[in-house]
């Protein structure tokens, strides 16, 4: 009788453990496909060093366009938001390892990434731009760069566009040096992202520069999640649709760029 009672007690305990495991699994959000790392919280990876998208202000508060968009999305989803500041080189590995739910760090949607991850609707749309001094009326297209000199960094994807347009390349370390050479009249133009230019103008006011031409192709940035959490990407897309409709995305765009970059 003692042996039978012991077996029955063990069986009851096993059933209880299984029930507890089921409840624990449900609280993580896995039952609806969102799989939140922390129940009730959207954990968002971002660099924290990428102005104006994700950076620390003078009071050391994490701010930026991507940060505020993520905060607005979490509010629409009735979730708390927690940011996990992560270096770019490790950000996708952290997502794969389940350290956070999504990334908001100007992740460009590319075919290669779409093969590995699920994306929300885009919240940033940009183009490549030829930037010249405001008094330059000779450059009005990419074709006009043929034989002229553009300032481009060695690792920039815009360098290839400049070369294919027939431009001669002046090597620079980045945007600041490009602008310096352009202002000094040592180069004719530079090709960069429209977002970079708009941020510069937003911060510096009358820049003495202008966009002479833009690419037809756009670059779109979105929230990214692992494939098994497609439901979360869909929920984020729904929240972004609401934020676009109520004017929030436009307001945040104009705050950080002086123009609507959300679509």
pLDDT in tens, 134-178: 999 999 999 999 999 999 998 788 999 999 999 999 999 999 999
Whether 105 and 231 share a structural domain: yes
Residue 15 maps to a domain: no
Residue 203 maps to a domain: yes
Mean pLDDT (whole number) for 237-243:
98
Q: Is the pLDDT of residue 87 over 90?
A: yes
Residue 57: burial class (beta carbons within 10 Å; 0-12, 13-18, 19+): exposed
Q: Which residue has the tokens 């979730």?
A: 79
Residue 22 maps to a domain: no
Residue 5 maps to a domain: no
Whether 121 and 135 share a structural domain: no
CA 123/CA 107 separation, integer angstroms: 10
CA 39/CA 26 separation, integer angstroms: 10
Question: What is the widest separation between alpha-carbon atoms in the chain?
Answer: 100
Whether 152 and 195 share a structural domain: yes
Whether 119 and 137 share a structural domain: no
Tokens of 96: 């794969």
Q: 193-215 as b/e, with b when 16 or more CB fall inside 10 Å?
A: bbbbbbbbbbeeeebebbebbeb
Instruction: Tell me what pLDDT residue 207 has.
Output: 81
Whether 175 and 140 share a structural domain: yes
Give the start-end residues of each E strand in 92-242. Answer: 102-103, 118-126, 128-133, 149-153, 168-172, 190-193, 209-214, 219-225
Whether 52 and 84 share a structural domain: yes
CA 32/CA 259 separation, integer angstroms: 37
Instruction: Tell me what pLDDT residue 8 has.
Output: 38
Mean pLDDT (whole number) for 215-238:
97
Whether 183 and 241 share a structural domain: no
Whether 200 and 229 share a structural domain: no
Residue 16 maps to a domain: no
Q: How many domains does the chain fold into?
A: 2
Question: Would you place residue 227 in the very low, low, confident or very high pLDDT band (cuts 50, 70, 90)?
Answer: very high
Whether 80 and 187 share a structural domain: no
The neighbouring-strand residues paired with 46 are 85
List, in sequence order, the alpha helices (H) in 100-174: 111-114, 157-164
- Kind of pairing between the strands at 168-172 and 149-153: parallel
Residue 13 maps to a domain: no
CA 158/CA 128 separation, integer angstroms: 8
The neighbouring-strand residues paired with 108 are 221
Q: Is the pLDDT of residue 28 over 80?
A: no
Residue 119 maps to a domain: yes
Whether 132 and 207 share a structural domain: yes
165 against 26, higher pLDDT = 165
Q: Is the pLDDT of residue 250 over 50?
A: yes
101 against 30, higher pLDDT = 101
CATH number for the domain spanning 158: value is: 3.40.190.10
Instruction: Choose the weakest-confidence range: 19-33, 93-107, 147-161, 169-183.
Output: 19-33
Whether 72 and 109 share a structural domain: yes
pTM of the model: 0.81
Work out the angle between the directed axes of helices 194-204 and 175-183 (0-180°, nearest 10): 70
Q: Find the domain containing 86 and state its range.
A: 45-125+221-257
CA 184/CA 188 separation, integer angstroms: 10
The neighbouring-strand residues paired with 10 are none
Residue 228 maps to a domain: yes
Whether 119 and 234 share a structural domain: yes
Q: Is the pLDDT of residue 214 over 60?
A: yes
The neighbouring-strand residues paired with 103 are 45, 224
Which of 195, 214, 233 is the C-terminal boundary of a domain? 214
Instruction: Tell me what pLDDT residue 47 has.
Output: 97
Query: Which CA distances in Å does 192 have to 149, 164, 198?
Result: 14, 15, 11
């Amino acid at each position: 009788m003692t042996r039978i009672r012991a077996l029955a007690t063990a069986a009851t305990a096993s059933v209880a453990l299984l029930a507890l495991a089921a409840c624990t699994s449900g609280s993580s959000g896995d039952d609806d496909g969102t799989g939140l790392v922390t129940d009730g919280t959207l954990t968002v990876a971002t660099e924290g060093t990428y102005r104006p998208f994700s950076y620390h202000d003078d009071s050391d508060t994490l701010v930026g366009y991507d940060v505020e968009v993520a905060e607005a999305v979490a509010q629409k989803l009735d979730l708390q938001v927690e940011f996990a500041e992560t270096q770019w080189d490790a950000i996708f590995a952290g997502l794969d390892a389940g350290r956070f739910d999504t990334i908001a760090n100007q992740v460009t949607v590319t075919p290669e990434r779409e093969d590995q991850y699920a994306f929300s609707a885009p919240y940033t749309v940009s183009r490549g731009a030829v930037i010249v001094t405001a008094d330059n009326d000779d450059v009005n297209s990419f074709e006009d760069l043929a034989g002229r000199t553009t300032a481009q960094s060695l690792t920039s994807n815009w360098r290839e566009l400049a070369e294919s347009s027939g431009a001669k390349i002046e090597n620079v370390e980045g945007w600041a040096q490009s602008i310096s050479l352009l202002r000094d009249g040592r180069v004719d133009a530079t090709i960069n992202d429209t977002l970079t230019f708009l941020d510069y103008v937003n911060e510096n006011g009358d820049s003495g520069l202008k966009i002479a031409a833009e690419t037809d192709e756009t670059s779109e940035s979105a929230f990214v999640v692992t494939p098994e959490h497609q439901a979360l990407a869909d929920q984020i897309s729904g929240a972004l649709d609401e934020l676009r409709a109520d004017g929030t995305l436009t307001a945040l765009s104009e705050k950080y760029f002086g123009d609507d970059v959300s679509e």
